[in-house]
Structure 1
């Protein structure tokens, strides 16, 4: 899913210059917070940031909010770590990614020897 649509920037809701600027700035601030949250999840799961799905972290915030209504003591990062499999936070390693990693390792291994 493109970042523009995920963050709600695919449609501008206002026509004035100030309104458009505010929507763009608010969207980028939200993106920065979402990226930082994803980095915290990556650290907690001991995964590289590239393996964490920004979209699924964003979508899981709804479910965390619902759980928070039931238990106000919940913490976001531990909850995301606990439910990471059902929320699909970690991207699957595809066969082409494994091939590219192996190819890169071969290239760099021969360069270092």
Structure 2
């Protein structure tokens, strides 16, 4: 019995994570950002805040709402100084090969 419950929780977790990743990919496409720049955790947290507007307007769509509120929800990860410096070094090294 415990094994069946464990498997159900495991499958539910996999399904939830797959749906969350798909939602994050849709947000990345809508924001024209690479998927690596989208915070999956913040997409998950924003679902809580989407609930109230959805109750007030059942016609509301999730992806356009997330795009509209992406700054306040923190959906796009900031690029740190170290990453900018590494990208600059990489461009210096590979610039000749890329042209």
TM-score, normalized by length of structure 1? 0.81
Task: Determine which of 71, 92, 98 is the counterpart of 2:84.
Answer: 98
Aligned residue in 2 for 1:62: 48
1: CA distance, partners of 2:16 / 2:22? 10
Bigger relative CO (Cα 8 Å, ≥ 6 apart): 2
2: CA distance, partners of 1:22 / 1:102? 47
| Cα deviation 1:73-104 (Å, max 9, x = unaligned) | 10000000000001010111110111121122
Return the structure number with greater helix share.
2
Report the count of equivalent residues: 98
Instruction: List runs of 5+ in structure 2 lacking aligned partners.
Output: none
Which of structure 1's runs of 4+ aligned residues deviate more than 3 A? none
Once the two structures are TM-superposed, the CA of residue 16 in structure 1 deviates from its matched residue by 1.0
Q: Does 1:89 align with 2:75?
A: yes
